[in-house]
């Protein structure tokens, strides 16, 4: 269930009220007349099933409410309402499958923005990946993958194509390019300093590394893993039941590859630089394509949602 809040001008208020009053899948509707100061007008609060969010948002946008006022959607974690149970049962499709495009797009804009927090996480993750490579530690490498924040910008590439958002596409590309470039350059500088001062012995880079050698060895499995990871990550971002951590863990070999590129640049190991660069490109491309295809499929499926709700009756749920 979602809570829809609309702040609109007095001129648009009658049209908004008529639209919301005619929507049979709204379980409750509150009108606060004159409650909005900016813009000067009314506030509408409605409880709606997640499955109906896209249609209502599109209808409100058609009235230009988003230009004159505000449309806000907030999840309702706990609710007890006989009317709410009824409208949710009647709404076509499953709430967990519903992709609320406004919600996903807003998150993509926020999390793919290039800022100091993003750059800091990229640098820390790349440094940690470099330590993992030097020690051939898969456990530390997983920690670096968890720390990396790059998955949402990668997913945003596919979302921008599906939703036709060129600004989001440019923002995500800029964030990815600058994020990897800065983190690799910083880690390379640190590696050079450590080598010159003899603080760390980098001779182990030339030895066998069974735990981390996959980072610079590209094969068809690299693409397969990237495709699966990209699809799983996008599903976690768009589903109401998806775990937010999936989008973090799903970074796959992007951060490890950037760490190995930095070490290779610092010590002239060009074969590893080339192999890790190829691994980075394959992973980003594979995840972006898988994310795009997943979003296209979700968009097509949701146009004809299947009613397969096998739930207790509203009265049974209300009494539990």
Q: What is the mean pLDDT of residues 174-184?
A: 96
182 in the same domain as 167: yes
- In the predicted structure, residue 93 carries a pLDDT above the cut 50: yes
Query: 286 and 226 in contact (C-beta within 8 Å)?
Result: yes
**Overall pTM surpassing 0.75 (yes/no):** yes
User: Could you tell me if residue 121 is inside a domain?
Assistant: yes
Q: Does the structure show a pLDDT above 90 at 117?
A: yes
Flag whether 319 is in a domain: no
State residue 272's pLDDT score. Answer: 85
DSSP state letter for 207: S
Residue 311 in domain: no
Residues 61, 112 within the same domain? no
Verify that 81 and 122 share a domain, yes or no: no
Do 94 and 109 have their domain in common? no
Q: Between these two residues, 93 and 307, which has the higher pLDDT value?
A: 93
Domain boundary among the residues 66, 98, 130 is at 98
Q: What is the CATH number of the domain that holds 173?
A: 1.20.1080
Residues 121, 203: one domain? yes
What is the rounded average pLDDT of the residues 279-293?
Answer: 92
Q: Which residue, of 73, 98, 123, is where some domain finishes?
A: 98
pLDDT of residue 124: 96
Q: Give the strand pairing for 2-9 and 70-75.
A: antiparallel
- 217: tokens are 């060895």
Q: Give me the half-sphere count of Cα atoms (radius 13 Å) on the Cβ side of residue 4.
A: 32
pLDDT digits (tens, 9 = 90+) for 16-40: 999 999 888 888 899 999 999 999 9
DSSP 77-140: SS---HHHHHHHHHSSS-GGG---HHHHHHHHHHHT---HHHHHHHHHHHHHHHHHHHHT-HHH
Is 312 contained in some domain?
no
In a domain, 235, yes or no: yes
Regarding whether 220 and 73 lie in a shared domain, the answer is no
> What's the rounded Cα separation, in Å, for the pair 15 and 33?
14
Q: Does 149 fall in a domain?
A: yes
- Asked if the bond preceding 234 is cis, omega within 30° of 0, the reply is no
State mean pLDDT over 206-218: 73
Q: Which of 98, 126, 158 is the last residue of a domain?
A: 98
Q: Specify whether 44 is located in the same domain as 109.
A: no
- Which element (helix H / strand E) includes 41? strand 41-48
pLDDT of 75: 84
Query: Residue 181's CB: how many other CB atoms inside 10 A?
Result: 12
Does 275 reside within a domain?
yes
**Model confidence at 94, in pLDDT bands (50, 70, 90)?**
low
Enclosing domain of residue 143:
103-303
Query: Is there a single domain that holds both residue 269 and residue 152?
Result: yes
DSSP letter, residue 304 = S
Distance CA 122, CA 254 (A): 11
Q: Report how far apart the first and last C-alpha atoms of the chain are (Å, whole number).
A: 18
Q: Is residue 318 domain-resident?
A: no
Q: Does residue 208 surpass a pLDDT of 70?
A: no
pLDDT band at 307 (very low <50, low <70, confident <90, very high): very low
pLDDT greater than 70 at residue 112: yes
Same domain membership, residue 292 and residue 240: yes
What CATH code is carried by the domain that includes residue 87? Answer: 3.30.70.120
Residues 275 and 169 in one domain: yes
Cβ partners under 8 Å of residue 11, min gap 6: 41, 68
* Sole residue written with tokens 């775990």: 243
Q: How many domains does the chain have?
A: 2
Query: Which residues touch 9 (CB under 8 Å, ≥6 apart)?
Result: 39, 40, 41, 68, 69
What is the residue-averaged pLDDT of the chain? 83
């Amino acid at each position: 269930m979602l809570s829809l809040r609309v702040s609109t001008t007095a001129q648009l208020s009658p049209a908004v009220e008529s639209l919301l009053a005619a929507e049979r899948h709204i379980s409750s509707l509150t009108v606060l007349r004159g409650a909005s100061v900016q813009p000067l007008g009314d506030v509408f609060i409605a409880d709606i099933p997640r499955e109906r969010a896209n249609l209502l948002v599109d209808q409100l946008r058609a009235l230009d409410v988003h230009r004159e006022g505000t449309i806000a959607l907030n999840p309702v974690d706990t609710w007890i309402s006989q009317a709410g149970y009824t409208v949710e049962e009647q709404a076509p499709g499953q709430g967990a499958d519903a992709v609320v495009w406004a919600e996903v797009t807003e998150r993509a804009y926020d999390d793919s923005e290039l800022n100091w927090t993003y750059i800091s996480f990229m640098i820390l993750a790349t440094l940690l990946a470099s330590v993992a490579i030097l020690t051939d530690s898969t456990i530390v490498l997983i920690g670096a993958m968890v720390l990396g924040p790059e998955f949402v910008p990668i997913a945003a590439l596919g979302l921008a194509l599906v939703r036709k958002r060129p600004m989001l596409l440019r923002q995500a590309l800029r964030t990815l390019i600058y994020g990897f470039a800065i983190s690799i350059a910083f880690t390379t500088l640190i590696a050079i300093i450590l080598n010159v001062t003899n603080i760390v012995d980098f001779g182990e880079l030339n030895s066998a590394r069974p735990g981390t050698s996959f980072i610079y060895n590209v094969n068809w499995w690299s693409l397969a893993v990237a495709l699966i990871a990209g699809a799983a990550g996008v599903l976690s971002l768009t589903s109401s039941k998806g775990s937010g951590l999936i989008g973090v863990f799903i970074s796959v070999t992007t951060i490890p590859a950037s760490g190995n590129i930095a070490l290779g640049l610092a010590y002239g190991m060009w074969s590893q630089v080339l192999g890790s660069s190829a691994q980075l490109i394959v992973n980003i491309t594979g995840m972006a394509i898988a994310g795009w295809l997943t979003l296209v499929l979700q968009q097509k499926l949701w146009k004809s949602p299947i009613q397969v709700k096998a739930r207790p009756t509203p009265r049974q749920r209300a009494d539990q």
